[in-house]
Amino acid sequence: MASGAAAAALSLGGCEAKAPPPTTTTTTAVLGPPTAADWRRLRDSLAGTLVLPSSAAYATNRLLYNSKFADPRPAAIAYCVGADDVSRCVDFVTRHEIEVAARSGGHSYGGYSSCNGLVVDVSRFNSVTVDTKANVAKVGAGTRLIDVYNEIGSRDRLLPGGSCPTVGIAGLTLGGGVGAFGRKFGLTCDNLRAAELVTAAGDRLRVNANKQPELLWACQGGGGGNFGIATSFEFDIHPMPEVTLFTLQYPWGSAADMLQAWQHWVATAPDELWSNCQLLSQGTYGFLAQIGGVFCGPPAALESLLSSLRSSVATAPSSTFVGSDRYIEAMKIEAGCSALSIASCHLATVNRRGVLSREAYSAKSSYLDAPSGSAHAAKLVHAVQTLKDYAPTVGGGLAFDAYGGAINRLSSAQTAFVHRDKLACIQATYSWSGYTSRAEIAAGQRWLTWLGAEVFTPQSGAYQNYIDPTLLDWKTAYYGTNLERLIKVKRAYDPENRLAFAQSIPVHL
């Protein structure tokens, strides 16, 4: 949410700490809970579509990506087709004092893409316009990542971002946007140069480094759903490099050695190399220890880097793959839909040509600040083995995504994304199917709780796009030293806290 990532709310920011506009309080008349006639009037006022519980499409349209949230029941879902639609929806929820949630891809790890009131869905804002001379792309806030990569990639350009093909660009960008090209080109939010959004007061704003710079700054990693509802983004894009993919698998008995070597390897790797390290319990299929990644360059240039890694692990890899590929094919591989067409890399519940299914999972995140010693590596391997003890048939484990390079060259205050001094992000997940017992699902959750308390280091922080409803000190974990500045932006653009959910930026500390 990642892509995780709660939906499409925005604030954007430059690096200067310019004063926000004066706080204003609206005087909109409050009408009380909406009646059936009120909903009909809203429906008739929209150029898009309003889906009510009585609609045949409601049963499908209310669903989020994570089927863990089995029964979201918003009062209505507005599929907006223009900023005027969004403004009308914001005015409606204000007048009737009901909850509102912005939804782009619906991938929020906490289920915050929905609410009991009105869901403002921006998935129909899905156009992509590419200017290859200026190296700029304008992207609708509801565009899915697979379509972003396909449209920009077809013009021999690249926008760094996440891997899940059905994630919406809004949630990804607003929370950061970590992915396979981040070390070379930065986070998605680092490439954000402008955005258009509708504020909690219903105002339509275009923000950039010169106009509303504090709002732009906040949109660069301040989290989705906080400052407004995004309708479009403008990104810097980059000429396409040659792309080489690699995977090395190791026997499970050497997993700790592999993890320790990987940490030291990525700490000194060039910007062109991004890598992740995975320690997975595959249920009845046993364990998997592997290193994978993407290199901006030819296989021959990658080989010396891989040789250095292999020489650092006492055991030889049991399997090795190295191969160059087209950018879009590389992103499809990262997305887990390499054998599918672009049209097929969508959810079947959202796109009639899509074949992908929703998933059920829970997650928790942490960070590695620096390479750790052998004892800590062994502790992390043991944690994955413990998952199998807790829940023998579910899949899950730990995935380490390398930071550094362009990500870490920015200061923690340059954008709202504060985690600029990390070696790697750790994402712990476990997933299940419709056949998994409730007892084992609950056991997996206990494993995550144990992991957070006994294995992870709370002071290292957590990634806001892997938003975690169980995290107690989430404000500091997600935003660190940028929290107070984000609160000031929230107070300036949403003083009445209308865009609120369980882990939204507060108006006051």
229 and 287 together in one domain: no
- pLDDT, mean of residues 478-497: 98
Q: Is residue 338 part of a domain?
A: no
Q: Which pLDDT score, from 0 to 100, does residue 315 have?
A: 97
61 and 112 together in one domain: yes
372 and 292 together in one domain: yes
Q: What percentage of residues in the chain have a pLDDT greater than 70? A: 94
284 and 163 together in one domain: no
Domain count, the chain: 2
pLDDT band at 325 (very low <50, low <70, confident <90, very high): confident
- pLDDT, mean of residues 287-308: 97
In angstroms, the CA 375 to CA 424 distance is 18
231 and 249 together in one domain: no
What are the b/e assignments for 112-149, b being 16+ CB within 10 Å?
A: bbbbebbbbbbbbbbebebeeeeebbebbbbbbbbbbb
193 and 247 together in one domain: no
Q: Is residue 222 a contact partner of residue 485, using CB atoms and an 8 Å limit?
A: no
Q: Is residue 89 part of a domain?
A: yes
- pLDDT, mean of residues 388-400: 95
The CATH number assigned to the domain holding 393 equals: 3.40.462.20
Q: Does the pLDDT value for residue 16 go beyond 80?
A: no
395 strand-pairing partners: 282, 431
225 and 125 together in one domain: yes
177 and 270 together in one domain: no
What are the b/e assignments for 12-37, b being 16+ CB within 10 Å?
A: bbbeeeeebeeeeeeeeeeeeebeee
- pLDDT, mean of residues 15-30: 44
Q: Does the pLDDT value for residue 2 go beyond 80?
A: no
The angle subtended at Cα 105 by Cα 100 and Cα 110, nearest 5°, is 65
In angstroms, the CA 234 to CA 225 distance is 18
Q: Does the pLDDT value for residue 17 go beyond 50?
A: no
Strands (E), 369-479: 395-402, 424-432
Q: Is residue 350 part of a domain?
A: no
97 and 183 together in one domain: yes
Lowest mean pLDDT among 69-78, 187-196, 330-339, 364-373: 330-339
- pLDDT, mean of residues 389-398: 94
In angstroms, the CA 295 to CA 275 distance is 8
Burial class (CB in 10 A: 0-12, 13-18, 19+), 389: exposed
Q: Is residue 52 part of a domain?
A: yes
Q: Which pLDDT score, from 0 to 100, does residue 105 have?
A: 97
Q: Which pLDDT score, from 0 to 100, does residue 28 have?
A: 61
In angstroms, the CA 38 to CA 384 distance is 52
Q: Is residue 382 part of a domain?
A: yes
Provide the mean pLDDT of the chain.
Answer: 93
Residues 116-139: pLDDT tens digits? 999 999 999 999 999 999 999 999
Tell me how far the alpha carbon of residue 193 is from its chain's centroid. 19
Supply the pTM of this predicted model. 0.93
303 and 201 together in one domain: no
95 and 219 together in one domain: yes
Tokens of 256: 């700790």
Domain that holds residue 365: 243-325+359-461
131 and 275 together in one domain: no
Strands (E), 154-260: 157-158, 192-198, 204-208, 229-236, 238-239, 243-250
Pick the more confident residue, 426 or 20. Answer: 426
